[in-house]
Structure 1
Amino acid sequence: MNNVKLDLVVGLFVLAGFFSFVYLSVQLGDFAPLSKRQQYQLQAEFGNISGLRRGAVVEIAGVGVGRVGAIELSERQRALVTLYIDRAVELSEDSIASVKTQGIIGEKYISISPGGSDLVLADGDWLMETESALDLEELVSKYIFGGV
């Protein structure tokens, strides 16, 4: 009888560990099938997105409002970035999307500066105003070799 209780406790402990692992994997991973319904999609073209990754945060005033979806090369040989923005956030058509870095050597993310237009972007629209990533290597080489 004592052996059965021990087996039951061990089995429940293993099940709890397994469900904890699954929960953490879903929360920390890039798996969010239901959240895409609560977001709308925007497109933006950048000249340089050096270091930006799929799943990076999209922020407005330091607050996360979405994620970077796909990153592709456009027909015009520019970086085409798909953004998923929370439906509660309305962006005007003259909003500006910029590639920024968290800290000096941190991860890249998209920062959106809201505009003042009355026209609001809808699902599938384009952010026309973009600012590319600052390339530190290029700046340092210009400084070293006298290009500044």
Structure 2
Amino acid sequence: MKRSKTMELGVGLFVLAGILGLVFLGLSVSGVGNNLSSDSFSLKADFANVGGLKKGSRVTMSGVQIGRVTSVDLDKEWFDARVTMQLNGDLEGQLSEDTTAAILTSGLLGEQYVGLTVGGAPETLKDGDTIHDTQKALVLEELIQQFVSNMVNN
């Protein structure tokens, strides 16, 4: 009798550890527990088309994550998509004024994210500044439509 209770306790602890591991893995993959430190700053960028970019998408530079998208809104004056990004604070004053922002896709049909490329201007971006040189998202449906229309016209 004593042995079965010990075995049941061991199995219960093993199952509990497995559930906790799955919860930790889920939070790590979703990025919920991956908040930026309080030492951060924000930049904005206007895009003609953001595709599937959404709040929480990553912001990268040279393949390294340096921030997250905090909001995607419609600019009611120019009817462009305004993307607000929260970046690591140690980059404030390091990104040149002619930095470019592009919406990229991870893989063929993967998640979309913002990729930043630094320029060479001596002036730098500060908290709240706007990146003016942007490249819109590459939307697969638009590419297919162009391909089909070119095939029909030829």
Per the TM superposition, whether the score is higher than 0.5 is yes
Q: Deviations over 1:74-98 (max 9, x none)?
A: 2222111111222233312221111
State the Cα distance separating 1:48 from its structure 2 match: 0.9
Cα distance, 1:67–1:12 mapped onto 2, change above 3 Å: same
Cα distance, 1:13–1:128 mapped onto 2, change above 3 Å: same
State the Cα distance separating 1:49 from its structure 2 match: 0.9
TM alignment of 1:1-148, pairs within 5 A: 1-32=2-33, 34-76=35-77, 77-89=79-91, 90-146=94-150
**Runs of 4+ with deviation above 6 angstroms:** none
Q: Is the 8 A contact 2:55 2:70 kept in 1?
A: yes
- The percentage of aligned residue pairs carrying the same residue is 34
Structure 1 unaligned residues grouped into runs of 5+: none
Amino acid at match of 1:74: D
Distance in 1 between residues matched to 2:147 and 2:131, nearest whole Å: 33
Task: Tell me how large the CA RMSD over aligned residues is.
Answer: 2.6
Cα distance, 1:5–1:61 mapped onto 2, change above 3 Å: same
Distance in 1 between residues matched to 2:103 and 2:50, nearest whole Å: 7
Q: Is the 8 A contact 1:36 1:84 kept in 2?
A: no
* Larger CA deviation: 128-137 vs 92-101: 128-137
State the Cα distance separating 1:104 from its structure 2 match: 3.9
- Number of residue-to-residue matches in the alignment: 148
SS in 2 for 1:54: coil
Cα distance, 1:11–1:81 mapped onto 2, change above 3 Å: same
Cα distance, 1:23–1:102 mapped onto 2, change above 3 Å: closer
* Larger CA deviation: 89-98 vs 116-125: 116-125
Q: Is the 8 A contact 1:41 1:85 kept in 2?
A: yes
SS in 1 for 2:38: helix
Q: Is the 8 A contact 2:46 2:81 kept in 1?
A: yes
Structure 2 unaligned residues grouped into runs of 5+: none
TM-score when normalising by structure 2:
0.77
State the Cα distance separating 1:116 from its structure 2 match: 1.6
Distance in 2 between residues matched to 1:22 and 1:138, nearest whole Å: 38
Cα distance, 1:5–1:138 mapped onto 2, change above 3 Å: closer
SS in 1 for 2:53: coil
State the Cα distance separating 1:36 from its structure 2 match: 4.5
